[in-house]
Amino acid sequence: MTVRSNSAASRDIAYHLHPYTNARKNEDEGPVIIDRGEGVYVIDDQGNRYLEALAGLWCTGLGFSEERLVKAAVDQMAKLPYYHSFAQKTASPVVDLAEKIVEMTPAQLTKVFFANSGSEANDTAIKMVWYYNNALDRPEKKKIISRIKGYHGVTIAAASLTAMPYVQAGFDLPIKNIIHTGAPHYYRFAQEGESEEAFTDRLAQELEELIQSEGPDTVAAFIGEPLQGAGGVIVPPESYWPKIQAVLKKYDILLIADEVICGFGRTGQMFGSDTFGLKPDIMTLAKQLSSAYAPISAVLVSDPIYQAVADNSAKLGSFGHGYTYGAHPVAAAVALETLKIYEERKIVEQVQAVGPRLQDGLRRFEDSPIVGEVRGIGLIAAVELVADKASKAPFDPIGKVGAYFAASAQAKGVIFRNLGDTIAACPPMIITEAEIDILLDGFAAALAETEAWVAEQGLAAVA
278 vs 236: CA distance, rounded Å: 12
Asked if residue 462 has pLDDT above 70, the reply is no
Q: Domain 68-344 belongs to what topology?
A: Aspartate Aminotransferase; domain 2 (3.40.640)
Model pLDDT, residue 297: 98
Tell me the CATH class for 32-65+346-457: alpha beta
Model confidence at 4: pLDDT above 80: no
Segment 52-68 shows an average pLDDT of 98
Q: Is the peptide bond before 93 cis (omega within 30 degrees of 0)?
A: no
**According to CATH, where is 3.40.640.10 located in the chain?**
68-344
Tens digits of per-residue pLDDT, 233-270?
Answer: 999 999 999 999 999 999 999 999 999 999 999 999 99
pLDDT at residue number 463: 57
CA dist., res. 128 & res. 142, Å (int):
11
| Stated pTM of the model | 0.96
Cite the residue boundaries of each domain of the chain with CATH code 3.90.1150.10.
32-65+346-457
Q: What are the C-alpha distances in Å from 189 to residues 199, 211, 374, 424? A: 9, 21, 15, 19
Beta bridge pairs of residue 103: none
The mean of the pLDDT values for the chain is 96
- In angstroms, the first-to-last Cα distance of the chain is 34
pLDDT tens, position by position, 67-117: 999 999 999 999 999 999 999 999 999 999 999 999 999 999 999 999 999
Query: What Rg do the C-alpha atoms of the chain give, in angstroms?
Result: 22
Q: Are strands 380-385 and 371-377 parallel, antiparallel or unpaired?
A: antiparallel
Question: Is 90 exceeded by the pLDDT of residue 133?
Answer: yes
